[in-house]
Amino acid sequence: MSTVKQPPDPESDARVKAVFDDIRATRKTDFVNNLWRTLAYDPALLERTWAEVKQLMTAPSHLDPLTKELIYIAVSIANACSYCVHSHTAAARAKGMSDAQHAELLAIVALAAKTNQLANGLQLAVDPVFDAANPFQA
């Protein structure tokens, strides 16, 4: 049940086909998941979204690929995005996440949410030493 109809033959649109081909080549699989199949209803949105995901999540960078997926899952849990939790948990497993690492990720996300509530409930003043412009941090 979705708010838009998946195009029945999305790859008949050349722009969509180009994106799907790039997804398959980048991920080394024939499988294209529902996010992309549905975004095909607007080729421009599909192109921009895939370009950004590809650049940030697959190009070599300052964080390793698994760490990036763990961060992605953490945000998706906090935002209650069911689809994203599923798709990125699968992606993290494909990049080597063990059951023990998954359980630890959930425990840390849960702990962070817990202390977030405490700090918001107490309305704590930020310690001046945490200010990045503070000379004490130099």
Within positions 95 to 114, which residues make up the interface with a copy of itself, using CB under 8 A?
98-114
> Please, what is the minimum distance in Å from the beta carbon of residue 93 to a copy of itself?
8
**DSSP for 1-58, written as a single string:** --SSPPPSSGGGSHHHHHHHHHHHHHHTSS---HHHHHHTTSHHHHHHHHHHHHHHHH
Q: By CB under 8 A, tell whether 3 contacts a copy of itself.
A: yes
Could you tell me if 39 and 46 are in contact, meaning their C-beta atoms sit under 8 angstroms apart? yes
User: CA 15, CA 125: separation in Å to the nearest integer?
Assistant: 51
Considering only residues 31 through 90, tell me which ones interact with a copy of itself, judged by CB under 8 A. 31, 33-35, 38-39, 41-42, 44-45, 48-49, 52-53, 56-57, 61-63, 67-68, 70-90
Stretch that binds a copy of itself, among 9-17, 18-26, 30-38 (CB under 8 A): 30-38
Site size with a copy of itself, rule: CB under 8 A: 86
